[in-house]
Amino acid sequence: MKKVDELKQFITVVYISRSPQYLPSPNERSKSWEAIVALTIPFQMVLLTINIILDDFFNVHIPIVLLLVLIGGTTIVPALMINHIVSQNDNVQKAWNYILEIDKADREEKVFFIGAIYFITPIIPLLLVVVLSIWLK
């Protein structure tokens, strides 16, 4: 499996874990824009981390209007990308197959863990940068 396919499967599994009420089975499906927009949160955290680094370490201040445009961009562009990924039936089918291959007793825990990795990964550098910023002041 290519890395791009793995990433698509990962995003689709997280999407399914965020919106199970919209995906009762692999064959029935409707989109949840609430879940799609929620999946853009890591992109916004990366933008926040970059903003803190620029502001605290390089004294580069981004005007608030530009920051709001960037936040909008990091919401809309990834949301469209995620929408494209979860709209493809083969991606949803592969993600469902992956989820159904997990032992039923461990399925809920493992799918939750996959979603937690997706959302926690960008928090770690953000916390490190904030702690380093506070420590150096």
Please tell me whether residue 23 adopts helix, strand or coil conformation: coil
Give all strands (DSSP E) within the chain, no chain letters: none
Could you read off the pLDDT of 48-90 as tens digits, one per residue?
Answer: 999 999 999 999 999 999 999 999 999 999 999 999 998 888 8
Please tell me whether residue 120 adopts helix, strand or coil conformation: helix
Could you read off the pLDDT of 105-132 as tens digits, one per residue?
Answer: 898 899 999 999 999 999 999 999 999 9
